[in-house]
Structure 1
């Protein structure tokens, strides 16, 4: 039965392929053409199916991987399985969903955060920084925020794209959440000028850390 199910789901994903969606996604480094709302609707219908999720992941197709992440059981993965999956993720959206929907709900999240943050592969390291940003916001106890700012100050400007983006998010999050570190976080952003000229649509917050911090703090205080 599983074989048929896998084949059926793969066929359904192929039927959802839309050339225009693929064109948009490829601009962001994601090689699939499935509308994510339709993908989520399919996941909702399939419900949680760990075995099917594992088989979809093994197809190495990006849309199938994204679907796998929506129907898997996050707590059932071992630490090493998640490490391998991250290295197989390849595209930004798959990595993002793996980190946010699976790793954050897994009991090994803290071990992986520490291991990935120190990984020589900048894409893997960016996942570690994404998990650190989550802790800065939700569970900062035990984090060395001054030490994190030291690393960001030294390495942010020269970091490759995805790692730079993740470190910059962490910088902004420290400034937003922790008033005692806010002035330094803004100062680091001002001096490094990372993402200062990033094209930002109207009514969207700029990823330039000083602007991001000031805007979010202003909103929190209802000004």
Structure 2
């Protein structure tokens, strides 16, 4: 079977571009107009192709980079490559997918979590918080949860949007997963009021940490 070329993929992505989808995405800082369901369908057809994924990433086009993330082999990237890719991830969706679909699946996740935590770039630092949130839920041993709450309490209110969002997610996860810290996590959320008025669609849980924690704990108890 003939190897799929970057040019062929880019041409296909161009045909999937929809102005209305782009308009919605641009409100969230994402500069592409490809429906993500259709993008995933392309990825499913292409399957894993690491060389193609690298070439698509190098185009610096958001839709191509999202596709690259879906067809790459996460463990094929070394630590320095992942660090460079994270810093080059210009848009929120590429950043989010790169952390969740690639970095989290590698052996470099913990080292990068620590490296990124001290980075002066708030977007890079937000990636560290996303990895910390993953550990809070799945591998909390060794984490100083009280210390994390101290940092969140001191810094979340004034943090830039994406860093604030990541810290808030960590706050909620601590409250949901760790009953001994739940009252303090809720109290921090109530005092800081971060995302308290965030517009939330019907049947969706508010990202306001006290509401989020209370609802998720209620669901766990029902189950």
TM over 0.5: yes
**Offset at residue 202 of structure 1 (A):** 1.3
**Offset at residue 111 of structure 1 (A):** 0.2
**Offset at residue 155 of structure 1 (A):** 0.2
Describe the superposition over 1:21-54 as per-residue Cα deviations: whole angstroms up to 9, x where unpaired.
1011111110000011110000011111000000
Describe the superposition over 1:137-183 as per-residue Cα deviations: whole angstroms up to 9, x where unpaired.
01101100011000000000000000000000000000000000001
Matched, 1:42 2:19: no
Question: Equivalents in 1 of 2:141, 2:190: separation in Å?
Answer: 27
Question: Equivalents in 1 of 2:187, 2:34: separation in Å?
Answer: 41
* Partner of residue 177, structure 2: 177
Matched, 1:52 2:52: yes
**SS of corresponding position for 2:222:** coil
Matched, 1:96 2:110: no
Question: Equivalents in 2 of 1:8, 1:165: separation in Å?
Answer: 37
Question: Equivalents in 1 of 2:207, 2:42: separation in Å?
Answer: 32
Matched, 1:216 2:186: no
**SS of corresponding position for 1:159:** coil
Runs of 4+ in 1 over 2 A off after TM superposition: none
Question: Equivalents in 2 of 1:90, 1:60: separation in Å?
Answer: 9
Question: Equivalents in 1 of 2:136, 2:124: separation in Å?
Answer: 19
- Matched ranges for 1:183-194 at <5 A: 183-194=183-194
* Partner of residue 141, structure 2: 141
Question: Equivalents in 2 of 1:194, 1:72: separation in Å?
Answer: 36
Deviates more, 1:4-13 or 1:48-57: 4-13
**Offset at residue 95 of structure 1 (A):** 0.5
- Matched ranges for 1:1-223 at <5 A: 5-222=5-222
**SS of corresponding position for 1:115:** helix
Question: Equivalents in 2 of 1:216, 1:149: separation in Å?
Answer: 19
**Offset at residue 187 of structure 1 (A):** 0.6
**SS of corresponding position for 1:221:** helix
**TM-score in terms of structure 2 length:** 0.98
Taking only aligned residues, the RMSD between alpha carbons, in angstroms, comes to 1.1
Question: Equivalents in 2 of 1:32, 1:60: separation in Å?
Answer: 12
**Offset at residue 5 of structure 1 (A):** 1.1
**Offset at residue 212 of structure 1 (A):** 0.5
**Offset at residue 20 of structure 1 (A):** 0.8
